[in-house]
Amino acid sequence: MFNRIPNKWLVVITVLTGTFTVILNNSMLNPAIPYFMNLFDADAVSAGWVITIFMVAMGMSMPLTGYLADKFGKKQVYIGGLMLFVTGSVLGSFSWDISAMIGFRAIQGVGGGMIMPLSMVLIFDAFPREERGLATGVWGVAAMLAPTIGPTLGGLLVELGSWQWLFLVNIPTGLLAILFSIRFLSQTKRVTDIRLDKPGFVTVTIGVGSILFALGRINELAHLYNALNLTLIAVGVFSLWFFVRIEARQDQPLLDLSIFRIKAYTYSVLIAMIGSVSLFGGIFLIPLLIQTVYGYGAIMTGLSFLPSALLMGLFMNVGGRMLDVKGPTIAAAGGLMVLSVSTFALGFLTMETALWFVFLLNGIRGIGMGLSNMPATTAGMNSIPEKLISRGSAMGNVVRQMSSALGIVFVSIYFEVRRSQILVNGGGDLQEASLTAINEAFIVLAVLTLVAVPLGFKLGREYKQTVKD
């Protein structure tokens, strides 16, 4: 069967399988946190670490991925990441307490941090520049679909099965991805004279790890004033500042920050940042809207994401084709505009709004996300030198990881603070106060996305100039 499929598309299938496994697993665990609190007699902070540690470990390992890929080969490092992830999944199913589960999730996170940046790099190696838009659009379906269907699947596994299946479900697809990688990924040339930028690795690891650790601990206003969180953020910011200073003097920097001088890449990273904030902000707000305001259950919440997921996947392919044929301007700027308008419309819901209308608006958000995100990212990666693709991908993934966490933190704090203010001022019951806070949060996200629309046009101009050169 595989003999009829061009090898370059087998590469896409391979990395899509691995990427989908990683992202789906993390999103499946979100609805299981209350269950783990009861199962292991853990408090909310300890149970929340099951999610936080994965994000922190992933963010800390990503900057090292480019160096490892150059040193040992992209194929070997990608397979190594898959093996770590599957190992963490197997061990996770045997967790005897919350601390053990957190440790095994950290192993998964390190593996995920090696898998995610290399997924796009491997596709770039397999496809010529003029076909990468379509290829990354197909691959991007995994990156965007998994967060939307994961919570529903996770809830069903916990309710109808056993919590161990939250980990065991990764093993078949993870092993399949390893087998595909061995069979279909090509060996890449190793850089023999490369050396590890140890000061850069230490400072970026501390910086990214501290900030992600702090963001993962913040889900209400009081956490912002927590001394440990403030200290972590301060340490993280200082470490990243020091990292930038170090990299400017290194002959072989861990992450070559000079790629930000390429404007097309910089614009693409900014678009990805804003897209991540909007995506994960919506993933946080929609369940609150459907369950807290309208009183539906987890299954209906999961169904509300299906139109968005399906349309996002479809329009990622459309956006990829547009990038290959006409460049990124229409896809990026148009997608951001669609995303902004549909998000803005979600800011004017009422208690009488029909649920199908929420489904529709969330679906239109999926169209905007599909059009703008992956074509912009691909255009930015196309604009940097081939030798820096691994480092550029790692950089983009670190930024996207931090932006996703920031988006969740922002909307969760805004929701909590604004709802409390409305209730204190006598602004109706809990449902009405929740709806008002959710509406306002969507409007803020819409404005943020609208501000990014000019970046789509700037990306198009710079990308066109890069292609000419």
Q: What is the pTM of this model?
A: 0.81
148 pLDDT band, cuts 50/70/90, is: low
User: What integer is the mean pLDDT of 274-303?
Assistant: 80
User: What integer is the mean pLDDT of 186-205?
Assistant: 80
Same domain, 241 and 310: no
443 pLDDT band, cuts 50/70/90, is: very high
Per-residue pLDDT, 338: 94
User: What integer is the mean pLDDT of 59-64?
Assistant: 84
Give the tokens for residue 152: 């529903």
What share of the chain in percent tops pLDDT 90? 19
The number of distinct structural domains making up the chain is: 3
Q: Dihedral angle at the C-alpha atoms of 346, 377, 205, 76, nearest 10 degrees?
A: 130
468 pLDDT band, cuts 50/70/90, is: low
Give the tokens for residue 378: 């691909």
The C-alpha atoms of residue 158 and residue 93 are separated, in whole angstroms, by 13
The C-alpha atoms of residue 66 and residue 467 are separated, in whole angstroms, by 24
Sign of CA dihedral 205, 206, 207, 212: positive
Looking at mean pLDDT, say which of 210-214, 445-449, 462-466 comes out highest. Answer: 445-449
Stronger pLDDT, 197 or 91, i.e. the higher one:
91
Same domain, 246 and 367: no
The C-alpha atoms of residue 271 and residue 259 are separated, in whole angstroms, by 16
Same domain, 151 and 278: no
Same domain, 218 and 178: no
Per-residue pLDDT, 2: 60
Sign of CA dihedral 289, 295, 301, 304: negative
Instruction: List the alpha helices (DSSP H) in 329-452.
Output: 329-345, 355-382, 389-424, 430-451
Looking at mean pLDDT, say which of 99-113, 157-171, 301-315, 421-435 comes out highest. Answer: 99-113
Which one, of 241, 303, 33, 24, lies nearest residue 141 by Cα?
Answer: 24
Same domain, 30 and 138: yes
Contact criterion met (CB below 8 Å) for 371 and 319 = yes
Contact criterion met (CB below 8 Å) for 415 and 437 = yes
Give the tokens for residue 300: 């209906």
Residue 219 has pLDDT above 70, yes or no: no
pLDDT tens across 28-37, in order? 887 677 678 7
Residue 205 has pLDDT above 60, yes or no: yes
Residue 144 has pLDDT above 70, yes or no: no
Residue 147 has pLDDT above 90, yes or no: no
320 pLDDT band, cuts 50/70/90, is: confident
24 pLDDT band, cuts 50/70/90, is: confident
Same domain, 267 and 376: yes
Give the tokens for residue 62: 């990503």
Contact criterion met (CB below 8 Å) for 110 and 61 = yes
Question: Considering all CA atoms of the chain, what is the largest pairwise distance in Å, rounded to the nearest integer?
Answer: 68
Give the tokens for residue 36: 């783990």
Q: Letter for the amino acid at 441? A: A
Domain boundary pick from 165, 193, 221: 193
Give the tokens for residue 352: 């009488």
DSSP string, 54-78: HHHHHHHHHHHHHHHHHHH-HHHHH
The C-alpha atoms of residue 248 and residue 244 are separated, in whole angstroms, by 6
Same domain, 49 and 166: yes
The C-alpha atoms of residue 25 and residue 151 are separated, in whole angstroms, by 9
Give the tokens for residue 276: 């991540």
- The CATH code of the domain that includes 92 is 1.20.1250.20
Per-residue pLDDT, 449: 92
Domain of residue 204, residue span: 195-251
User: What integer is the mean pLDDT of 231-250?
Assistant: 87
The C-alpha atoms of residue 36 and residue 22 are separated, in whole angstroms, by 20
CB neighbour burial string for 126-148, b if at least 16 within 10 angstroms, e if fewer: bbeeeebbbbbbbbbbbbbbbbb
Domain boundary pick from 207, 226, 251: 251
pLDDT tens across 347-390, in order? 999 888 888 899 999 999 989 988 888 888 888 888 888 777 87
Same domain, 209 and 71: no
The C-alpha atoms of residue 39 and residue 33 are separated, in whole angstroms, by 10
Which one, of 162, 164, 166, 163, lies nearest residue 150 by Cα?
Answer: 166
Domain boundary pick from 233, 251, 269: 251
Same domain, 201 and 260: no
The C-alpha atoms of residue 446 and residue 163 are separated, in whole angstroms, by 37
Residue 422 has pLDDT above 80, yes or no: yes
Contact criterion met (CB below 8 Å) for 456 and 328 = yes
Same domain, 242 and 389: no
Contact criterion met (CB below 8 Å) for 94 and 286 = no
Same domain, 378 and 403: yes
Same domain, 336 and 225: no
Residue 327 has pLDDT above 90, yes or no: no
Stronger pLDDT, 224 or 365, i.e. the higher one:
365
Per-residue pLDDT, 157: 80
Q: Compute the residue count for the chain.
A: 469
